[in-house]
């Protein structure tokens, strides 16, 4: 998109945000899916492992820098000189015809160089979510949401099952949300949900069910026979991680390809039960086949969630789970798919190996050790195999 240039605006360096890390994580996930070369992946894995460590140490600028280095290694390239820049749309939500600005600042947290010349523009006269891309955005796709009467419409959603959506829309407007969410589309979806209920929605932006917030894809033709995948993210993640992040949305794509229901709540041991209760109350569905999926701490929540289900799931899928090797009573006997990377952190790798040894003689379960894979990319690496395993569970 060609921007109307009118203003020079520079801001000093500030700590990297969740959005800065999410942007780079998503870019890394996309590149990982594209590049299969083992040598390049091995080079990237070493850097990714350091990025994961920096994330848990809350070194956000270092996370961004390492993710950029890992993606460059995967492409067999050097890091772009522009990689460290943060580019934001300010404000990200405007009324038709209002001005906005592209604001540049340094995301790495140190060595703040002179910024590129910032840019500004004017929103079109129509409502919608506009993609800004090209040289002015340093090749990144940014979202400008054009909405009439945004605040009054958003405030009307501050109730019931659209409360979480209303709060997320506030974060988007204030530039504090963690990714380029389409505020106009989400607002319109929430308004429709409040007016009509959720029976005719396929894609649900953010729904609150008791103390659980989730995103979902529900085929319009879904019945009780439609399998359900409920995916729980790891520590520091959110309901967006399985929906958009891991494998650049691969878990959702694989469910959509099969015509399955896909739900990604904020991780907690109560989330799967709350999601299933919502399906019954809002869509009149009592699914016959349910798979609970979890990564890292979400794997631990997956195991813990089983005791809260009224019916055992058809199976559970665990990626480098942060849990004990010995499964609790509610999880024993549940068909299990377990995957861990060869370059996983030592403690989690040991747990997975011990759990895998307990599963090796079970025909309904599978353990995978994935080469050239670490704590983050294990999800993308094992998702295809996990869905094939779920296909087999349904066929048996």
pLDDT in tens, 164-185: 999 999 999 999 999 899 999 9
Q: What is the DSSP string of 47-97?
A: HHHHHHHHHHTT-HHHHHHHHHHHHHHHHT-PPPTTTTEEEEEESSEE-TT
Segment 193-219, tens digit of pLDDT: 999 999 889 999 999 999 999 999 999
What is the residue range of 142's domain? 86-104+111-188
Asked which of 135, 156, 188 is the last residue of a domain, the reply is 188
Q: Give the pairing type, strands 128-132 and 142-146.
A: antiparallel
Give the list of residues 6+ apart from residue 125 with CB closer than 8 angstroms, or none: 96, 97
Residues 271 and 352 in one domain: yes
- Does residue 134 share a domain with residue 278? no
Domain at 373, CATH number: 3.40.50.1820
Identify whether residues 228 and 289 lie together within a single domain.
Answer: yes
pLDDT for 220 beyond 70: yes
DSSP 316-378: EEEES--S-SSPPTTTTTS-EEEEEETTS-HHHHHHHHHHHHHHTT-TT-EEEEETT--TTTH
Confidence bin at 3 (pLDDT 50/70/90) = very low
Six token digits for residue 1: 């998109």
Do the beta carbons of residue 245 and residue 26 sit within 8 Å?
Answer: yes
Residues 184 and 213 in one domain: no
* DSSP one-letter string for 251-288: HHHHHHHHT-EEEEEPP-TTHHHHHHHHHHHHH----S
Instruction: Based on the fold, state whether residues 248 and 100 are members of the same structural domain.
Output: no
Query: Does residue 301 sit in the same domain as residue 213?
Result: yes
| Share of residues in the chain with pLDDT > 90 (%) | 87
In this structure, are 148 and 213 located in the same domain?
no
Tell me, yes or no, whether 99 lies in a domain: yes
162, 188, 214: which is the final residue of a domain? 188
Other beta carbons within 10 Å of 139? 11
115 falls within a domain: yes
Residue 262 belongs to a domain: yes
Note whether residue 29 is domain-resident: no
Is residue 322 in some structural domain? yes
Is pLDDT of 71 > 90?
yes
Q: Which residues contact 275 (CB under 8 A, 6 or more apart)?
A: 209, 212, 214, 216, 230, 263, 265
How much is the pTM? 0.93
- Do 96 and 211 share a domain, yes or no? no
Same domain, 147 and 207: no
The average pLDDT across 348-364 equals 95
Q: What is the pLDDT of residues 238-285, one digit of tens each?
A: 999 999 999 999 999 999 999 999 999 999 999 999 999 999 999 999
Listed range (1-15, 36-50, 94-108) with the worst mean pLDDT: 1-15
Q: Which of 169, 188, 207 is the last residue of a domain?
A: 188
In a domain, 224, yes or no: yes
- 273 and 365 fall within a common domain: yes
Domains contained in the chain, number: 2
Is the same domain home to 292 and 177? no
- Mean pLDDT value across residues 88-117: 88
**Per-residue confidence band for 14, with pLDDT thresholds at 50, 70 and 90:** low
Q: Residue 132 falls within a domain, yes or no? A: yes
Residue 11 to residue 244: CA distance in whole angstroms: 29
Query: Residue 30 domain-assigned?
Result: no
Question: Over 80: is that where the pLDDT of 104 sits?
Answer: yes
pLDDT higher than threshold 80 for residue 88? yes
pLDDT at 113: 74
Same domain, 137 and 254: no
């Amino acid at each position: 998109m060609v921007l109307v240039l009118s203003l020079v605006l520079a801001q000093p360096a500030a700590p990297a945000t969740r959005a800065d890390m999410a942007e780079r994580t998503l870019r890394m996930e996309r590149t990982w899916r594209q590049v299969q070369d083992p040598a390049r992946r091995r080079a990237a894995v070493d850097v990714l492992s350091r990025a994961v460590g920096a994330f848990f140490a809350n070194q956000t600028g270092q996370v961004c820098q390492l993710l950029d280095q890992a993606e460059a290694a995967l492409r067999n390239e050097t890091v772009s000189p522009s990689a460290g820049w943060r580019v934001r749309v300010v404000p990200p939500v405007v009324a038709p015809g209002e001005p906005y600005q592209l604001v540049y600042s340094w995301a790495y947290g140190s060595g703040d160089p002179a910024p590129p010349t910032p840019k500004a523009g004017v929103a079109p006269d129509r409502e919608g979510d506009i993609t800004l891309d090209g040289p002015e955005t340093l090749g990144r796709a940014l979202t400008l949401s054009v909405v009439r009467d945004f605040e009054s419409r958003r405030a009307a959603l501050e109730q019931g099952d659209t409360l979480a959506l209303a709060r997320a829309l506030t974060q988007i407007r204030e530039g504090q949300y963690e990714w380029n969410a389409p505020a106009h589309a989400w607002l319109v979806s929430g308004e429709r949900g409040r007016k009509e209920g959720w029976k005719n929605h396929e894609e649900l932006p953010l729904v609150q069910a008791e103390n659980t917030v989730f995103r979902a894809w529900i085929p319009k033709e879904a019945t009780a026979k439609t399998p359900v995948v409920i995916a729980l993210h790891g520590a520091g993640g959110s309901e967006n991680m399985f929906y958009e992040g891991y494998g650049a949305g691969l878990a959702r794509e694989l469910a959509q390809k099969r015509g399955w229901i896909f739900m990604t709540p904020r991780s907690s041991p109560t989330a799967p039960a709350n999601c299933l209760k919502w399906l019954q109350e809002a869509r009149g569905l009592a699914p016959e086949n349910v798979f609970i999926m979890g990564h890292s701490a979400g794997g631990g929540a997956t195991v813990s969630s089983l005791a809260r289900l009224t019916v055992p799931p058809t199976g559970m899928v665990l990626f480098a789970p942060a849990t004990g090797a010995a499964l609790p009573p509610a999880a024993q006997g549940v068909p299990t798919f377990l995957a861990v990377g060869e370059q996983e952190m030592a403690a989690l790798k040991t747990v997975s190996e011990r759990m895998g040894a307990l599963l090796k003689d079970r025909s309904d379960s599978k353990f995978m050790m994935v080469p050239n894979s670490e704590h983050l990319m294990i999800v993308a690496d094992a998702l295809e195999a996990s869905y094939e395993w779920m296909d087999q569970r349904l066929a048996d």
